[in-house]
Amino acid sequence: MNTKVEKPNVLFSIAEYGGGGNVNHQVEGLPDRPDPVNGQFFPEAYQTNMHEVQWSIIKKYPYIWGSYVWNMFDFTVPLWNRGGIPGRNHKGLVTYDRKIRKDAFYWYKANWSKEPVLYLSNRRLTQRKGPNTDFSLYCNLDNYDLSLNGKTLGKGVTGKSAIHFIWENISIRKGKNRLIATGYRDGQRFEDQIEFTVN
**CA gap 124, 134 in Å, rounded:** 14
**CA gap 157, 137 in Å, rounded:** 10
- Given a cut of 50, the residues of the chain with pLDDT beneath it are none
Residue 6: the pLDDT is: 77
Cis omega (within 30 of 0) for bond into 131:
yes
CATH 2.60.40.10-classified regions of the chain? 116-198
Phi first, then psi: what are they for 75, rounded to 5°?
-145, 165
Q: pLDDT for 72-95, tens place per residue? A: 999 999 999 999 999 999 999 999
Name the CATH code of domain 116-198 (choices 3.40.630.30, 3.30.930.10, 2.60.40.10, 3.30.465.10).
Answer: 2.60.40.10
Q: Answer yes or no: pTM beyond 0.85.
A: yes
